[in-house]
Amino acid sequence: MKKSTNILIGVGAFAIGLTVIYLFSRDKDGKPKVSGGNSILFIGDSNTASNVSYADQLKKAFPKLKTKKIAKVGEKTDWMKTQLANELKNNKYSVVAVLGGSNDIYALGKIDSAKKNLDAMYKMIQDSGAKVLAVTPPNKDYYVKKTEQKQKLLSDLIDWMKGNSKIDYLVDFHKITNDKKYFSSGDGYLHANASAHKILADQTKQKLNLA
């Protein structure tokens, strides 16, 4: 009887231990945390290509963190998808961060291809064993060339991203940049400044539990 009791206590303690480990390895939404020793691939357009981007700020803040940035001014999600596929053929990452879609809207006037490409990218990332960090495109409320139709497309794309089950972590850069102070008249209030990217970097750090 005593032996059986000891076995039951041992099994119970083991189960509790596993539960504790599981809970401490998850964020508040129940998703796996990412420790500072892992690697991040950043994919994007001009927002990520900028040398003040959240990718660069995180690299500077965490010099031991393995990072790589693949980004180009003016590129759409089709270019990003091709670049991602090529990169994942030879390299593994813990997290892949994707920030794109604005150029699809302004070049094509629709978001069908952006949704298709982003969804394919999210699946590619998952299939590679990495976690998906999706960043919504920045706010265009102050952009001098905005139109009502393109503003609606942007809103629709962001809603779609927020409802995409393939995304492990989402940071709302659109919400962060809902203030004119984060833009400059020099480029028609198009690109978010370093201060906005600092907030984006901080929120990314919190989402991924970087330390």
- How many structural domains does the chain have? 2
User: Do residues 5 and 109 both lie within one domain?
Assistant: no
In this predicted structure, the answer to whether residue 161 has a pLDDT above a threshold of 60 is yes
Residues 115 and 154 in one domain: yes
Residues 50 and 154 in one domain: yes
200 shares a domain with 143: yes
Are residues 10 and 57 located together in one domain of the fold?
Answer: no
Q: Is 35 helix (H, G, I), strand (E, B) or coil?
A: coil
pLDDT score of 20: 36
Domain that residue 162 falls in: 31-208
Confidence check: pLDDT of 94 > 90: yes
Q: How many CB atoms within 10 Å of residue 181? A: 10
Say how far apart CA 196 and CA 47 lie, in whole Å.
11
Task: Indicate whether 22 and 41 sit together in one domain.
Answer: no
Question: Do residues 21 and 40 both lie within one domain?
Answer: no
What's the whole-number mean pLDDT along residues 76-95?
Answer: 97
Residue 159 has pLDDT above 70, yes or no: yes
- Of 33-42, 125-134, 136-145, the poorest mean pLDDT is in 33-42
- Asked whether the predicted pLDDT for residue 141 surpasses 70, the reply is yes
CATH assignment at residue 95: 3.40.50.1110
56 lies in the same domain as 135? yes
| Same domain assignment for residues 74 and 146 | yes
Q: Are 97 and 121 in contact (CB under 8 A)?
A: no
Q: Which two tokens stand for residue 200?
A: 């984006």
- Identity at 120, one-letter amino acid code: A
CB 53 within 8 A of CB 197: yes
Among the residue ranges 17-31, 33-47, 79-93, 146-160, the one predicted with the least confidence is: 17-31
- 75 with 93, same domain: the answer is yes
Residue 152 sits in the same domain as residue 108? yes
Q: pTM of the prediction? A: 0.83
